[in-house]
Structure 1
Amino acid sequence: MTEIHLKSVRKAYGELEVIHGVDLQVNSGEFCVFVGPSGCGKSTLLRIIAGLEDITSGTIEIDGVVVNTVGAADRGLAMVFQSYALYPHMTVYKNMAFGLENSKMPRAQIDERVRKTAELLQITDYLERRPKALSGGQRQRVAIGRAIVRDPKAFLFDEPLSNLDAELRVTMRKELSALHANIGGTMIYVTHDQVEAMTLADRIVVLQKGIIEQVGAPLDLYNRPCNAFVAGFIGSPRMNMFEGHVTRDGDEMVLNIQGAHLHVPNVPDLKDGDRITMGIRPEHISVHADGSGELNAAVTVSEQLGGDTYVYCDAPGLPQITVHQPGQLPVARGQTLSLSFERAQMHLFGADGKVVANGLPG
């Protein structure tokens, strides 16, 4: 298995710098996911690792060897593209065997690799078909199979599921996870879908504007975001964010967020008058039927999913509030809900967006 190390990697197109001094180590056998909004540099970073883009400065190491001047074909990596990139005039078998034939591998060994991989991916029945006779999910399996037969040092995936419908994406996520468990190997995966990132990754790299904001295990990022950007990007639905300021009240502190004044334990790093953003995830907002909550909000939309209920509410002066309740919560549009916020699950961010507290005492 393979370790990939980026040191102070920068990429500029003329005067426009798009990758700003990235330092990252992808560990051997790790499933590492690059995630971020469109234009954050995640695909550019993947292409730099693949050797499809030159870097402006810095170094790229694969298993301790600097590969800055090594071409894509000689890095020993396999890339799976969003568009599948299959040869339309070739059968599935030929598509998978083509790269091995070019490397002059013995025909018997090629046949063994192709058929073994086809069995692993459950595409044996399609080996004599051409890509146009396959569904999107089947084509993606072929593209992945073409990468596997090469026995690469690492696999690079560039938004491979974005062309599939929602149900098939869920299926393919499970299959990719199982594939990693079966064959091991270092995998780097690019997506804008943070649900894919949460379900697939051993570690997630969150990027914004060519800068790494945070690296960590999925639940570490979910529970302990280092700044407001990561907090708002990781999680679906998004974390609720409320801007306000702090006032001291003896041994307590008050978070003043428009119509609500929330009494919480003192946070040493905050002083009277400091601007803050309070974040709380939808599942950490409680609904009080007896009206004993801290904030009243009017229901605008209710999504009843059977096992879960998502309620979207409005309160004066605040952005829309998203509430998640397990099970079925019968509410009507215009109904007033009494809400409270779990202190242990509150996230506070300073005026600079950096985290001040991930969770407060009760």
Structure 2
Amino acid sequence: MAGLTLKSVRKAFGTVAVIHGIDLAIADGEFIVFVGPSGCGKSTLLRIIAGLEDVSSGEIAIDALDVTRLPASDRGLAMVFQSYALYPHMTVYQNMAFALENMGLARAEIDARVRRAATMLRLTDYLARKPKALSGGQRQRVAIGRAIVRDPKIFLFDEPLSNLDAELRVATRKELAALHAEIGGTMIYVTHDQVEAMTMADRIVVLRGGRIEQVGTPLELYNRPDNLFVAGFIGSPRMNLLPAQVVSPGLARIGEAGQPVKVATGSLAAGASATVGVRPEHIALAEGPADLALSIDLVEQLGGETYFYASAPGLPQITVRQNGQVPRERGEALCVRFEPAHLHLFDAEGHAVRPGG
């Protein structure tokens, strides 16, 4: 396995720049997830790493070896595509063995590799079948198996679960995480689904407009987002982002009718516009004095937890999550308190304000 380094990688199609100077170091054995909205450049960046797209400028190194101009076939990587890309006229065994045959490996070595991967992916009973006789999840496992048998330096996954239904996506996601734990390979995984990113990654790379917004572990991004984009993108349901104004050092007022709440205001002066971020699970129901009075628009009872979607004049709809079953109705008043330790403040440019900053 191997590590990967990107230095000032840029990509333009004609006059349209899509990747703007990416710098990134991926350690040997890491599971890295590129996440971001459609059009953010994550798949293009993966294809550049794979050698399927040329860079306009910059450098790509695998284990300190410059591979920037090296053809895809010589980089020692394996890519799993969204569309599976299986040969329909070949059996599962033949699909998994094909690349090894082209590499000129001995028949015994090919058989050993294919059967080892089939056992790992629970495909042993399907080796004689053709792709049309498999389910979507089984086809995806064959595509992954075809990558495993090549023993690549790095595995590349381009939204491999997007064609699966919701239940199968969850199951396959767990299988991929278990696979990484078993083989310990370096894996780079592209998705637009931040839940996939949160549950699978050692580190997440959040992309927007061809630029990196933040890199960190799932909990680092969840607990300490660098900006409004990351705060709103990471987490499900998303963080509540509420307009606010600094009242004095350490105090900000949410909206027009809320009480001042304690939050780190850094160097922001009184009167400065800001945004307060608070996760749905960090909003408490108030029996006495409240930070904010809301009106319930919708209640979702999920058994183990309750979601309230509530509003107040001049504020976007606020999501409140409570453990257990909390009996409330649409139209009722909902008085809430915010936990100061879990509040986030962002300045007018959308940058996170840190304590002492």
Partner of 1:243: 243
Q: Which residue of 1 aligns with 2:150?
A: 150
Query: Which amino acid is 1:305 matched to?
Result: L
Q: How far off its partner does 1:8 sit? A: 0.2
Once the two structures are TM-superposed, the CA of residue 358 in structure 1 deviates from its matched residue by 7.0
2:318 equivalent to 1:353? no
TM-score of the aligned structures, taking structure 1 as reference length: 0.96
Asked if the contact 2:194–2:234 (Cα under 8 Å) also holds between the matched residues in 1, the reply is: yes
Of the three residues 296, 300, 303, the one matched with 2:297 is: 300
Computed over aligned residues only, the root mean square deviation of the Cα atoms, in angstroms, reads: 1.5
Structure 1: which amino acid aligns with 2:64?
G
- 1:121 is matched by which residue type in structure 2? L
**Aligned residue runs from structure 1 range 1-362, under 5 A:** 1-248=1-248, 253-264=251-262, 267-288=265-286, 290-357=287-354
Aligned-partner residue type, residue 98 of structure 1? F
Q: Distance in 1 between matches of 2:138 and 2:180?
A: 18
Q: What CA deviation, in whole Å up to 9, does each residue of 1:92-114 have, x standing for no partner?
A: 00000000011111111101110
Change in 2 beyond 3 A, CA 1:281/1:252: closer
Secondary structure of 2:259's counterpart equals strand
Q: 1:73 to 1:328 in 2, by over 3 A?
A: same
Query: 1-side partners of 2:110 and 2:229: how far apart?
Result: 47
CA distance, structure 2, for counterparts of residue 207 and residue 310 of structure 1: 29
C-alpha distance 120-254 of structure 1, shift in aligned 2 (>3 A): closer
> In terms of mean alpha carbon deviation, does 107-116 or 254-263 score higher?
254-263
**SS of residue paired to 1:96:** helix
- In the alignment, structure 2 segments of 5+ residues that lack a partner are none
Change (3 A) 1:86 1:97: same
Shift of the 358–184 alpha-carbon distance from structure 1 to 2, 3 Å rule, reads farther
Residues 345 and 359 of structure 1 are in contact (CA less than 8 Å); yes or no, is this contact kept in structure 2? Answer: no
Q: CA deviation at 1:247?
A: 2.0
- Distance (Å, rounded) in 2 between the aligned partners of 1:301 and 1:156: 41
Residue 265 (structure 1) shift: 5.6
Residue deviations 1:130-178, cap 9 Å, x none?
A: 1011001000000000000000001000000111111111111111010
Identity %: 65
Contact 1:347 / 1:358 at 8 angstroms: preserved in 2? no
Amino acid aligned to 1:213: E
Judging changes above 3 Å, is the alpha-carbon distance between structure 1 residues 187 and 358 closer, same or farther for their aligned structure 2 residues? farther
Q: Matched residue pairs, number?
A: 357
Q: Work out whether residues 344 and 359 of structure 1, in 8 Å CA contact, stay in contact via their aligned partners in 2.
A: no
Is the alpha carbon distance of 1:18 and 1:325 closer, same or farther for their aligned partners in structure 2, counting shifts above 3 Å?
same
Between the aligned partners of 1:343 and 1:45, the Cα distance in structure 2 is: 39
SS of equivalent residue, structure 1 residue 260? coil
Q: How far, CA to CA, are the matches of 2:177 and 2:356 in structure 1?
A: 31
Q: Structure 1 regions of 5+ residues with no counterpart?
A: none
Q: 1:7 to 1:144 in 2, by over 3 A?
A: same
**Normalized against structure 2, the TM-score is what?**
0.97
Note the alpha carbon deviations across 1:63-111, whole angstroms, 9 max, x for none. 1111111111110000000000000111000000000011111111101
Q: Which moved more, 1:318-327 or 1:255-264?
A: 255-264
CA distance in 2, matches of 1:357, 1:343: 13
Distance in 2 of aligned mates of 1:291 and 1:145: 59
SS of the residue corresponding to residue 317 of structure 1 reads coil
| 8 Å CA contact 1:30, 1:185 repeated in 2 | yes
Q: What is the identity, as a one-letter code, of the residue corresponding to 2:282?
A: H
305-314 or 261-270, which deviates more: 261-270
1:35-82 deviation line (CA, Å, top 9, x unaligned): 001100000000000000000000000111111111111100000000
Q: CA deviation at 1:6?
A: 0.2
Shift of 1:267: 2.9
The separation in 2 between residues aligned to 1:321 and 1:205, in whole angstroms, is 27
1:195 offset after TM fit, Å? 0.4
Match of 2:322, SS state, is strand
The 1:266/1:37 distance shift into structure 2, 3 A limit, reads closer
Q: Distance in 2 between matches of 1:148 and 1:282?
A: 40
Task: State the secondary structure of the residue aligned to 2:235.
Answer: coil
State whether residues 261 and 291 of structure 2, in contact with CA within 8 Å, keep that contact through their aligned partners in structure 1.
Answer: no
Deviations 1:275-305 (A, max 9, x none): 10000000000112x3532211111111111
